[in-house]
């Protein structure tokens, strides 16, 4: 397998396949989520559903096919999505009267439904979520991170006024941050997107951006305040307390199976996947070692441990295959099993097992009596430790003292020479699309977001040297 | 609202909309699953996932778009599905080289993947499930029961031999039966489909058939034994213990959001939805009555009960709207709330609340001290009671003594005159497609299945009078 430090992208491509998270499919740019990959998504769904329930936001399901005339109602929206839309034009051997788009997102379909369902201020806020497959025909694709079909959740809400809509927009962004950091151990940068990077049709787009180990960014989640733009296009009005028909303010927000890609690029190492126990399909793997077949007491002991862990709801596997210990170690490290327990004849005799945590260097000897508790402790400690590790690495790859295009180019050169990630660069920006375009053209860096907590105010625009209107993060991105 | 007894289908159409289970969508034949409707599906998913986990069948996700040449590989399969397939032919404004079908089912896509993943007998059985949206462009549509897009689970498994594959096929059918009867309180008829009703490409198809209150059938779930037909078409082979490459035996099986329609048609009454507490979005609804606003102690008491029920994981609502009690009663009965608790000033004074169970005639007075326990008992008893009620009704609508086409026509006439359901009719069948076609043409009855437990052997074919090869159920069907 190619080494991570030599070719990060190739390492990623090989790892997601060899670890059986995905397979390619015969349709260009789409992929199969194999059970170990899909299970990560199921855990994310379960966790985010808790937030939805606590906020009384209910799940629904809307049709996937969107009639063309629907899409045309919000001009910016169709303009943004048109080039990537797959169209159903025939059924059986008959041509349809109107082509139907495969949804890239559901603002239009849900907007039309909201228009029917919302009548009075008493109906607001009206808050809905959908877990669904969506389609965007991307030119360049990468498993999990950019595929023609992907899975996501899309929340859609309508509110009485701007204040309440903005409250939800930012509240969700906080929850996405919590989900990434506390649940997935992925540190993120929270901020506002520049106008050119806004969702097609949004007034304001906010994002969380994650930094991969190679210093590149992944936009890990977005939350949009739509103002009344979609309400106007789809006639979402309500009768207010003064008995007047007024437009609702809407929001939408989503995270997708991109999170799985981010997870792997954030934590993986030369041995393969490193996964926080929160989402790992294999939290614990037990394996007999040495001449265990001659010594049935070893398997009896492991069966006992297996049953205890299972009873505690821990996702445990028992590898009693004929493969060699070395083969098994490699395989389960590749697959990101969080804790490995080995037991051979001498271990059994001495009343202990050997325990290895995926992201810690050393094995430890643990007495059988302490084994379950020790495993539980490790599972509890691993996620916050992975977060701390990732945060520390991010710190090294944040760059604050680049003030001109030449300095940025010099930084890129140095990184190339020293084989270091170019990372996130904080710059001053005059607020124009032109300077953004120039940065991208000259360096491949794109604007990530304007951070909520600006670590350091930048006085001048990177390109023009004129006074900066905003301070923002730029980076190369997936 | 139209009465159930006057026009069952119209009652159904009005009920699913007024109870806010669904809305129509602008795409012909597709529908929106509103939160109360979608939540039923979520509970079914949760329940069936327990079975999958206990059998170590894992969830995965496969691409929705299927290339045309893929579909052509199994001849019966494409022939069966061709007329209903929607095709993606363009992306943006570019024509695709090969049209892509929206999956009506995933045997082809999953078959190709199995071919890659399965190598040795050690890999078998290989068992996968997928929760997904699927498309079949139906001419006549009905919410939940027959829509262009619907949601389902499809299990796909590959086995070492026919015996193991047939074991899974029938084991799943048993689980579907348990799911319908114990979880959804829908009694079902388990049996084998006739050849003309087999899944396109299957060797044998088994089904569970449910009888609606109007006597019509709904095919509620199917399980198919494919033999080696798909294995041959998609090259699913494995190295057996004798080191020879042989074809695997495959199965597939599914239940869909049709179950929601069946649920409503099985239990609903003139007041609206009747739902078993297992899947009801609203298990308990609390409402203050009388001049409760002047008496804040009433809402305090209800808040206390609400908190207790919530803590127990019971899905409880508190209706403190300004609507009249009569309006509230109607609304929550329409929505199928299982238990209603009313509390007014006199109730509070006397230390009790009034309790009404959706499917029982009388209200009861329950002391506050006993309230939580009484609610729990009612929630536990309601599902088996609904099943018993439905079973008793089915019994009345099973007909065993119809032996000729004339007798069947006379039965239909009598039912029409007496305004009774035609129900399920047990007949003798000579095993030919011709007699099946004749029955359908003359009466609109279709063959449901050949029951596993034949209640009574029928000696002669309904049409020809010749000796019968099988005894089977026929009925009108949705």
ipTM: 0.96
A83 touches chain B (CB under 8 A): yes
- Confidence band for B475, pLDDT divided at 50, 70 and 90: very high
Q: What is the distance between the alpha carbons of residues B434 and B14, in angstroms, rounded to a whole number?
A: 38
Residue with tokens 């029917």: A116
Tokens describing residue B334: 């329409």
- Confidence band for B279, pLDDT divided at 50, 70 and 90: very high
Return the percentage of chain B with pLDDT > 70, whole number. 100
Residues of B in contact with A60 (CB under 8 A): 32-35, 38
A150 touches chain B (CB under 8 A): no
Residues A25, B62: C-beta atoms closer than 8 Å = yes
Q: What is the distance between the alpha carbons of residues A372 and A366, in angstroms, rounded to a whole number?
A: 10
Among B33, B89, B133, beta carbon nearest to A90:
B89
Residues A89, B91: C-beta atoms closer than 8 Å = no
Residues of B in contact with A90 (CB under 8 A): 86-87, 89, 99
Searching chain A, which residue's CA lies closest to the CA of residue B79?
A92
Among A32, A84, A113, beta carbon nearest to B32:
A113
The pLDDT, as a whole number, for residue A79 is 83
Residue B28 has pLDDT above 90, yes or no: no
Residues 265-284 of B with CB under 8 A from A: none
- Confidence band for B27, pLDDT divided at 50, 70 and 90: confident
Residues B116, A58: C-beta atoms closer than 8 Å = no
Q: Is A404 exposed, middle or buried (0-12, 13-18, 19+ CB in 10 A)?
A: middle
- Confidence band for B78, pLDDT divided at 50, 70 and 90: confident
Residues of B in contact with A22 (CB under 8 A): none
The pLDDT, as a whole number, for residue A80 is 84
Chain B nearest C-alpha distance from A222 (Å): 23
Residues of B in contact with A80 (CB under 8 A): none
- For range B162-170, the mean pLDDT: 98
Among A26, A86, A92, beta carbon nearest to B88:
A86
Strands B149-159 and B126-135: what pairing? antiparallel
What is each CA distance from A259 to A39, A125, A150, A185, B266, in whole angstroms? 13, 28, 11, 11, 42
Residue B226 has pLDDT above 90, yes or no: yes
DSSP-based three-state secondary structure for A92: coil
Burial A269-308 (b: 16+ CB within 10 A, else e): bebbbbbbbbbbbbbbbbbbbbebeebeebbebbeebbee
Residue B429 has pLDDT above 90, yes or no: yes
The per-residue pLDDT of chain B, averaged, comes to 96
Among B60, B67, B88, beta carbon nearest to A87:
B88
Consecutive H or E run containing A286: strand A284-288
B90 touches chain A (CB under 8 A): yes
Domains observed in chain A:
8-267 (3.30.930.10), 284-379 (3.40.50.800), 399-475 (3.30.110.30)
pLDDT tens for A17-52 read 999 999 998 888 899 999 999 999 999 999 999 999
Tell me, what DSSP letter sits at residue A146? B
The pLDDT, as a whole number, for residue A27 is 86
pLDDT tens for A231-281 read 999 999 999 999 999 999 999 999 999 999 999 999 999 999 999 999 999
Residue B158 has pLDDT above 90, yes or no: yes
Q: What is the distance between the alpha carbons of residues B119 and B240, in angstroms, rounded to a whole number?
A: 9
User: Would you put residue B243 in left (φ > 0), alpha (ψ -120 to 50) or beta?
Assistant: left
Tokens describing residue A148: 């023609």
The pLDDT, as a whole number, for residue A168 is 98
**Count of A-B CB contacts under 8 Å:** 137
From the list A239, A344, A361, A359, the residue with the least C-alpha distance to A301 is: A344
Residue B47: CB atoms within 10 A of its CB come to 17
Chain B nearest C-alpha distance from A286 (Å): 18
Higher per-residue pLDDT: B174 or A140: B174
The pLDDT, as a whole number, for residue A76 is 81
Residue B70 has pLDDT above 90, yes or no: no
Per-residue pLDDT of chain A (478 residues; tens, 9 = 90+): 899 999 999 999 999 999 999 999 888 889 999 999 999 999 999 999 999 999 999 999 999 999 999 888 887 878 888 889 999 999 999 999 999 999 999 999 999 999 999 999 999 999 999 999 999 998 899 999 999 999 999 999 999 999 999 999 999 999 999 999 999 999 999 999 999 999 988 999 999 999 999 999 999 999 999 999 999 999 999 999 999 999 999 999 999 999 999 999 999 999 999 999 999 999 999 999 999 999 999 999 999 999 999 999 999 999 999 999 999 999 999 999 999 999 999 999 999 999 999 999 999 999 999 999 999 999 999 999 999 999 999 999 999 999 999 999 999 999 999 999 999 999 999 999 999 999 999 999 999 999 999 999 999 999 999 999 999 999 999 9
């Amino acid at each position: 397998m190619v080494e991570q430090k030599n070719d990060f992208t190739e390492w990623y491509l090989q790892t997601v396949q060899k670890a059986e998270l995905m397979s390619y499919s015969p349709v260009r740019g789409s992929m199969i989520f194999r059970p170990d990959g899909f299970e990560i998504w199921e855990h994310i769904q379960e966790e985010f559903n808790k937030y939805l329930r606590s906020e009384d936001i209910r799940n629904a399901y809307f049709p996937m096919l969107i009639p063309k005339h629907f899409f045309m109602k919000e001009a910016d929206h169709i303009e943004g999505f048109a080039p990537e839309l797959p169209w159903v034009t025939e059924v059986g051997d008959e041509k349809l009267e109107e082509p139907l788009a495969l949804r890239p997102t559901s603002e239009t379909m849900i907007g039309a439904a909201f228009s029917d369902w919302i009548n009075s201020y008493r109906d607001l806020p009206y808050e809905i979520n959908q877990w669904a497959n969506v389609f965007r025909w991307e030119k360049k694709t990468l498993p999990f991170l950019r595929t023609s079909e992907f899975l996501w959740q899309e929340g859609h809400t309508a509110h009485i006024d701007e204040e309440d809509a903005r409250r939800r927009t930012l509240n969700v962004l906080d929850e996405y941050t919590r989900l990434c950091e506390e649940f997935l151990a992925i540190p993120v940068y929270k901020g506002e997107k520049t106008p050119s990077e806004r969702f097609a049709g949004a007034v304001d787009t906010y994002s969380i951006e994650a930094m991969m180990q190679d210093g590149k960014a992944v936009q890990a989640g977005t939350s949009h305040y739509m103002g009344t733009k979609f309400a106007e296009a789809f006639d979402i009005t309500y009768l207010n307390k003064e008995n007047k028909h007024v437009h609702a303010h809407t929001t939408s927000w989503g995270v997708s199976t991109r999170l799985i890609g981010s997870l792997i690029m954030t934590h993986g190492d030369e041995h393969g996947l490193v996964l926080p126990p929160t989402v790992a399909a294999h939290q614990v793997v037990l394996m007999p070692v040495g001449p265990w077949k001659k010594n049935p007491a070893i398997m009896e002991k492991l069966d006992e441990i297996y049953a205890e862990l299972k009873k505690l709801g821990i996702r445990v596997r028992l590898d009693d295959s004929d493969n060699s210990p070395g083969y098994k170690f490699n395989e389960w490290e590749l697959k990101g099993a969080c804790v490995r327990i080995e037991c051979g004849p001498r271990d059994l005799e001495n009343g202990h097992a050997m325990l290895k945590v995926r992201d810690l260097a050393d094995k430890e000897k643990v007495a059988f009596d302490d084994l379950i508790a020790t495993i539980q402790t490790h599972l509890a400690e691993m996620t916050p430790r992975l977060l701390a590790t990732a945060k520390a690495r991010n710190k090294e790859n944040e760059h604050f003292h680049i003030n001109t295009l030449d300095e940025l180019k010099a930084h890129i050169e140095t990184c190339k020479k020293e084989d270091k990630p170019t990372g996130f660069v904080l710059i001053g920006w005059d607020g124009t699309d032109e300077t953004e375009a120039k940065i991208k053209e000259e360096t491949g860096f794109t604007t990530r977001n304007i951070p909520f907590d600006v670590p350091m105010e930048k006085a001048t625009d990177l390109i023009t040297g004129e006074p900066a209107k905003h301070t923002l993060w730029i980076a190369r991105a997936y």
